[in-house]
């Protein structure tokens, strides 16, 4: 399963990238780091600089066609930067239009709000996004992990790094089921 991990050139929460990435590899799938610029992305541990990761694919009007699933790691700056990029927003929306599974953690549901795919869905996120989710027509819940199977795409969401074990287990289980 070719799995896209979408992130901005800077600002992703490192553990929210690395733990799902490892889960995808353990499942025998092919993770691909997708970004808006070539080169490397700079990860963070909260507000401190952390590792750099090499970009596998640069967005240029892409859709979900080349991938089987999408993971949206969080971090405050990562989705905030991505949601202003029409290519990134369109890329996220295309997974829902194609009925492919999506997983998002922490602040990453901002991308779902921006892509207008939250309406009539139930999801969780970092608590400060609850109003954004509700204003976009979704239902926000305070849960470690929430799976929404509303057609056409399955959506797996979690609140924070402490939820990563449950998030990774759920995304592998749901991605296989789709």
**Which positions are annotated as active-site residues?**
106-107
Cis bond leading into 15, ω under 30°? no
- CA dist., res. 141 & res. 111, Å (int): 17
- CA dist., res. 27 & res. 63, Å (int): 24
Q: 70 and 103 in contact (C-beta within 8 Å)?
A: yes
Adjacent-strand bridge partners of 123: 140
Q: 168 and 145 in contact (C-beta within 8 Å)?
A: no
Comparing CA positions, the residue from 130, 138, 143 lying closest to residue 170 is 143
26 token code pair: 């353990």
Q: For residue 97, which phi and psi values (nearest 5 degrees)?
A: -65, -35
| HEC profile of 59-70 | CCCCCHHHCCEE
């Amino acid at each position: 399963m070719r799995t896209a991990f979408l992130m901005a050139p800077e600002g992703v929460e490192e553990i929210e990238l690395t733990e799902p990435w490892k889960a995808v590899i353990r499942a025998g799938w092919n993770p691909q780091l997708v970004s808006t610029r070539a080169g490397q992305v700079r990860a963070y541990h909260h507000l401190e600089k952390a590792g750099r990761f090499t970009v596998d694919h640069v967005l240029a009007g892409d859709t979900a066609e080349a991938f089987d699933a999408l993971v949206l790691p969080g971090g405050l700056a990562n989705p905030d930067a991505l949601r202003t990029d029409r290519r990134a927003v369109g890329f996220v929306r295309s997974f829902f239009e194609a009925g492919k599974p999506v997983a998002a953690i922490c602040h990453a549901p901002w991308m779902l709000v921006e892509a207008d795919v939250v309406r009539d869905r139930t999801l969780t996120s970092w608590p400060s996004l609850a109003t954004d989710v509700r204003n976009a027509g979704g239902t926000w819940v305070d849960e470690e992990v929430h799976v929404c199977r509303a057609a056409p795409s399955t959506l797996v969401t979690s609140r924070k790094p402490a939820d990563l074990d449950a998030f990774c287990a759920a995304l592998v289980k749901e991605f296989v089921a789709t």
